[in-house]
Amino acid sequence: MKLPHPFLWLTEPGQPRAFAVTSILALLTMASLQVLDAPLHTAAAPAGIISFQFARDLESAHRILASWGPEARVYAGLSLGVDYLFMVAYACALGLGCVLVARRLGRWDGGLAALGMALSWGQWMAALLDALENYALIRLLLGSERALWPALAYGCALPKFLIVGEGILFIGVGGILSLLRRSG
């Protein structure tokens, strides 16, 4: 029985190629985000845009925005825009990575295969949370005074990073287990 995953529309032989292409796109987009993030590292935002994502309240968000100034805010806006492309790229790359590893592990362990397929869907949930988070941050960047926005950004950022981290961990550990099983 084939377990459902978000890439059933791709042929099995096409999935590794799609994984390679989306991984390259994700890495290139991530490199662009790093460049855009450089001017955002201040005393109030030591982790740049990530500090803004975790501001949690209006006072902290205002402190970060004030530390950036007008030019850095343009970089923040560009970063949030490019991040929408990154969301699609990482959701595809990590989701496909989970599917490919789950398929290999499924030869020995159906439970791990099911976990991988669930994590594949989870990457799309992470991208959705990321999109909501970015919307909240854009509202703050445009001058909104609603306390809802930093709380929403924080509430989306935390589970997003956890889901993405779980996907990366599954691909890494599962990939190693798969290689050990094959060679052993």
pLDDT per residue over 102-128, tens digit each? 999 888 888 899 999 999 999 999 999
Q: What is the pLDDT of residue 139?
A: 98
Rounded distance between C-alpha atoms, residue 164 and residue 1, angstroms? 27
Q: What is the pLDDT of residue 49?
A: 98
Rounded distance between C-alpha atoms, residue 4 and residue 8, angstroms? 7
Q: What is the pLDDT of residue 47?
A: 98
- Judge whether 41 and 72 are in contact, CB under 8 Å: no
Confidence of residue 130 (pLDDT cuts 50, 70, 90): very high
Is the confidence at residue 2, as pLDDT, over 90? no
- Judge whether 122 and 167 are in contact, CB under 8 Å: yes
Q: What is the mean pLDDT of residues 12-28?
A: 96
Rounded distance between C-alpha atoms, residue 17 and residue 170, angstroms? 20
Confidence of residue 169 (pLDDT cuts 50, 70, 90): very high
Q: What is the pLDDT of residue 3?
A: 67
- Judge whether 124 and 131 are in contact, CB under 8 Å: no
Token pair listed for 91: 């959701």
- Structure confidence by residue, pLDDT tens digits, 30-41: 999 999 999 999
Q: Which of 43-47, 70-74, 160-164, 175-179 has the lowest mean pLDDT?
A: 175-179
Is the confidence at residue 183, as pLDDT, over 90? no
Share of the chain above pLDDT 70, in %: 97
pTM of the predicted model as reported, rounded to 2 decimal places: 0.92
Q: What is the pLDDT of residue 171?
A: 97
Write the CB contacts of 91 (distance below 8 Å, at least 6 apart in sequence): 123, 124, 126, 127
